[in-house]
Structure 1
Amino acid sequence: MNKKYEIFANELLKWNKTHKFTNYTTKEEIFAQIEDSLFPLEYIKNAKTAADVGTGAGFPGLVLAIALPQTKWYLIEPLKKRYSFLNYIKILLDLNNVEIIPKRVEKSDIGKADLITSRAVMKTDDFLNLVNPFLDKNGTILLYKGSNALEELGGINAKIINKKNRNYVFIKAKQWEK
Structure 2
Amino acid sequence: MSIFDNTCDFELSLTDIQAIDELEKRFTQRDSPLLDIPYSSELCDDTEDILPRNRNRKRCYVIDSDDEDEYTGQQVSSVNTRIDKDFWREPTDSGKENYNPETSLARNKRQKHELKKKEGPVKKSRKYCSRCYKVNVKTLGRNYARKKTKQVNTYCPQCPNELHFCLNCFNEEHKKL
- Tell me if TM exceeds 0.5: no
Higher helix share: 1
Give the TM-score category using the shorter length: under 0.3
Greater relative contact order (CA < 8 Å, ≥ 6 in sequence): 2
Structure ranking higher in strand proportion: 1
